[in-house]
Amino acid sequence: MEQVKKVTLRQLFRMKRRSEKIVWVVLYDWPTAMLADQAGIDMILVGDSVAMTMLGLPSTLPITMDVMLHHAQAVVRGVKRAFVVGDMPFMSYVTAEDAIKNAGELLRVGCDAVKLEGGESVAPIVKAVVSAGIPVIGHLGLTPQSVSLLGGYHVQGRTADAALKILTDAQALEAAGAFGVLLENIPTEVAKTIAENTSFLTFSIGGGPDTAGQLLLSHDVLGLTLGLKPVFAKSYANIAEQIKSAFQAYEREVRSGQYPSEEYLSHMRDGEYEKLLKRLDN
Ligand code: KIV
């Protein structure tokens, strides 16, 4: 059997140098991870968006390290090739000590790197985690853990001042040793400016095409988003419709007696049922 080679940071930087796009997806479980890996996806994020997509919570804030570790373990079991990033949940990286400990837990269960939100203000934390030997990617623009501060899930960086702040934040992350930054829901021009004025890996989720790679949530890709779907989120299937119609067909067949039909039954050995009936008669 052919040995599958794991994607490494070196390989990701090589892809950037060769202008080969890096494909990144957010997912949370073993079967989806296995299928994405087999499909050739380069990177997987075990995101704290699990709160909203899988657990029906209104924001990412209730997610704890325990939840992240639970999902990270499942994802890692399904992956042979992709580079797996574990999301650091809200309040898990307030101090450098906490950050190193919690990032270490994500690596211990098999993640290859961690992601955390923020720019200049978290640069010392990023530096400490990287110094502990843990690869870190930053997250700027619409940072869901600051949804209260941002006043909702809106496009960020629409003015020159705001764009400059995001650029300064990205440069601070790079100087702190982050291997890249995820740019969420910002204007295309701003993402392009950041890609052109930094040397690390830039990724876009709703920031246009000018970054080294793209990220989408698997729920959006698969058409399984039941809540709000952002404008930038493209769906390549309508799994929600398929799931619903499968449940409807099952419901119909059970009620009508069509399921379980002969092909789904097992039977006693020849003559054993008759023996059983006889014994019950005695
Ligand atoms: O948790 C997540 O899925 C994320 C994306 C929204 C970028 O951080």
Is the C-beta atom of 207 inside 6 A of ligand 1?
no
pLDDT number for residue 195: 98
More confident of the two residues 110 and 228 = 110
For 161-207, the pLDDT digits (tens) are 999 999 999 999 999 999 999 999 999 999 999 999 999 999 999 99
pLDDT number for residue 161: 98
More confident of the two residues 42 and 154 = 42
**110-139 exposure pattern, b = at least 16 Cβ within 10 A, e = fewer:** ebbbbbbbbbeebbebbbbbbeeebbbbbb
**C-alpha of residue 265 to centroid of ligand 1, in Å:** 45
Q: Which residues are catalytic?
A: 184
pLDDT number for residue 227: 81
Under 8 Å between Cβ of 33 and 81: no
Q: What is the mean pLDDT of the chain?
A: 97
Q: Which atom of ligand 1 is nearest to the CA of 53?
A: 3
Q: How far apart are CA 238 and CA 220, in angstroms?
A: 9
Structure tokens at 271: 């003559």
pLDDT number for residue 68: 98
**Residue recorded with tokens 């200049």:** 120
For 50-65, the pLDDT digits (tens) are 999 999 999 999 999 9
Is the C-beta atom of 220 inside 6 A of ligand 1?
no
pLDDT number for residue 146: 92
**C-alpha of residue 31 to centroid of ligand 1, in Å:** 19
Is the C-beta atom of 26 inside 6 A of ligand 1?
yes
Structure tokens at 171: 């440069």
**C-alpha of residue 69 to centroid of ligand 1, in Å:** 16
Q: What is the mean pLDDT of residues 111-122?
A: 98
Closest C-alpha residue for ligand 1 atom 4 = 47
pLDDT number for residue 179: 98
Percent of the chain with pLDDT over 70: 100
Q: How far apart are CA 69 and CA 98, in angstroms?
A: 15
pLDDT number for residue 22: 98
pLDDT at 1 exceeding the cut of 80 = no
**Half-sphere CA count of 260, side-chain side, radius 13 A:** 5
For 226-246, the pLDDT digits (tens) are 988 899 999 999 999 999 999
Q: How confident is the model at residue 282 (pLDDT cuts 50, 70, 90)?
A: confident
pLDDT number for residue 3: 84
3-state secondary structure of 25: strand
pLDDT number for residue 2: 73
